[in-house]
Amino acid sequence: MLKEIKLAIYIISISLFIFLIINHYFSETNTKNYFRKLNNIDEAVKINSEKLLILESNTEYIIKDADKNSNENKKDKNFSFWELLGNND
């Protein structure tokens, strides 16, 4: 008998909790506050995006420098794996 009462109290409390959460989530005040926050975020993004500084691109010659460096590295001595293993002197 005590187990059935305890189970009934658990089921009633869980269902009451779920009902209250759903009721609050779909209430008019919650939806109004939600959309107000969205509008405030959009306005804040617009204001902050106008304040941002635009930096000039300094990446124009990176590819040329990389090609230049790779040509210099090719002049170095090239090792092969098997030659490294064979030279155990």
- The residue type of 86 is G
pLDDT, residue 68, reads 58
| Site of tokens 């304040």 | 51
Task: Work out the widest C-alpha separation in the chain, in whole angstroms.
Answer: 90
Instruction: Report residue 83 CA to chain centroid gap.
Output: 47
Please give the pLDDT value at position 69. 58
pTM: 0.43
53 close to 47: Cβ distance less than 8 angstroms:
no
What number of residues does the chain have?
Answer: 89
Give the range of the structural domain holding residue 69, as residue numbers without chain letter: 2-86
Structure tokens that stand for 10 in this block: 């658990």
**Mean pLDDT per 10-residue run, the chain (89 residues)?**
95 98 92 89 90 82 60 60 67
- Amino acid making up residue 88: N
Question: What's the total number of domains in the chain?
Answer: 1
